[in-house]
Structure 1
């Protein structure tokens, strides 16, 4: 898993509430267990028409936002079924950070397990960030995980909260297993002690 430390990117505005995981990655793309290649299906029903042609009105199809790595989205992002393919598709497309007022719990947890930073802000803060994002190619935001801040194009700064353990994992590019392996010396020492004290176990 790649480290997430500091990201500066154009931010794509997606002011839609209740974007569920089926909208993020439709069920037709769930036939694989690989984490790569799913970017082509991201928001497929909004990005493409029935003939497979790009919808020019959809934000990620617009030239100014086609390389966006930050998504500014409406409330309750990632609701619906608990498909891990949703963060896989976002990351494969290039989205490394999603900003919203709230996230569905399972999607929120899956983001951290896959190297995506979900940032929760207030309604007022989201409105400001959405306005920034609507500036197109000038809609550059900087998300600093270490400082827990989002800096806008006008120099304004928003602070956000994050669980310290999740922050540690993202900063170091480790998942739950990697975090356990960091404690390997302590685990080995404990097992050696138990073996000495209770050799019959």
Structure 2
């Protein structure tokens, strides 16, 4: 369950430090010309054996953690290459938020620009949440974005911070393109002023010659 104010649902612990974007979305799933079909590739080598059968030791393959909405990750989550497909794959799989103590910088801002919540908490707080959601009986979390707090099934609360721009984008249902389009009048005014002051910079079409 989610809306523009919160994310609520099953949380899966994935306490793997330095889980990089190559592991989150392996290279063989980057061959498409659009964003579709990435859910299959998400964490493929963790979810599937070499012969393609689901790994029984992966929580994401178990009934208790089906329909996962939140990943509780390890330190430096999403490090490595800059592939945005890692964010898209998480979202297509149904994940709406990640909680970790630190992130790869490019992944963090790719997540923000695509409205995937990347919540930062202290490592001891992440450890407490990981322990709680490791029990299927208490594996649900609520992330209250409006009030910037994570709540566990047992009633624990953990405050987190967000950059004001990221918080506003999430609460208003905007990705980075939508946020930019909110400034369209200012962009158009700047463009008009720019060409008025610098008409020489505009590239004009070349005249068409009738000769050979």
Fold shared per TM-score above 0.5? yes
User: 2:39 matched to which residue of 1?
Assistant: 39
Q: Distance between the aligned counterparts of 2:89 and 2:108, measured in 1? A: 14
Q: Distance between the aligned counterparts of 1:198 and 1:43, measured in 2? A: 51
Aligned partners of 2:138 and 2:154 also within 8 Å? no
User: How many angstroms does 1:196 deviate by?
Assistant: 8.3
Aligned partners of 1:4 and 1:117 also within 8 Å? no
Q: Distance between the aligned counterparts of 2:80 and 2:86, measured in 1? A: 11
Aligned partners of 1:10 and 1:65 also within 8 Å? yes
Pick closer, same or farther for the CA change 1:190–1:27 going to 2, 3 Å.
closer
User: 1:59 matched to which residue of 2?
Assistant: 59
Report SS of the residue matched to 1:8.
strand
Q: Distance between the aligned counterparts of 2:27 and 2:197, measured in 1? A: 53
Aligned partners of 2:77 and 2:103 also within 8 Å? yes
Moved more, 133-142 or 55-64: 133-142
Residue by residue, what CA displacement relative to the aligned partner does 1:93-130 show, whole Å, maximum 9, x if unpaired?
Answer: 01110000000000001111222000010011101110
User: 2:206 matched to which residue of 1?
Assistant: none
Question: Within 5 Å, which residues of 2 pair with 1:123-142?
Answer: 123-142=123-142
User: 1:24 matched to which residue of 2?
Assistant: 24
Aligned partners of 1:3 and 1:115 also within 8 Å? no
Aligned partners of 1:35 and 1:92 also within 8 Å? no
User: 1:171 matched to which residue of 2?
Assistant: 171
Aligned partners of 1:3 and 1:170 also within 8 Å? no
Moved more, 128-137 or 142-151: 128-137
Q: Distance between the aligned counterparts of 1:191 and 1:73, measured in 2? A: 44
Question: Within 5 Å, which residues of 2 pair with 1:1-201?
Answer: 4-188=4-188
Pick closer, same or farther for the CA change 1:191–1:34 going to 2, 3 Å.
closer
Q: TM-score, normalized by length of structure 2?
A: 0.86
Q: Which runs of 5+ in 2 are unaligned?
A: 202-212
Moved more, 8-17 or 31-40: 31-40
Q: Which runs of 5+ in 1 are unaligned?
A: none
User: How many angstroms does 1:194 deviate by?
Assistant: 7.2
Q: TM-score, normalized by length of structure 1?
A: 0.91
Pick closer, same or farther for the CA change 1:16–1:190 going to 2, 3 Å.
closer
Indicate the structure (1 or 2) with the bigger Cα radius of gyration.
Answer: 2
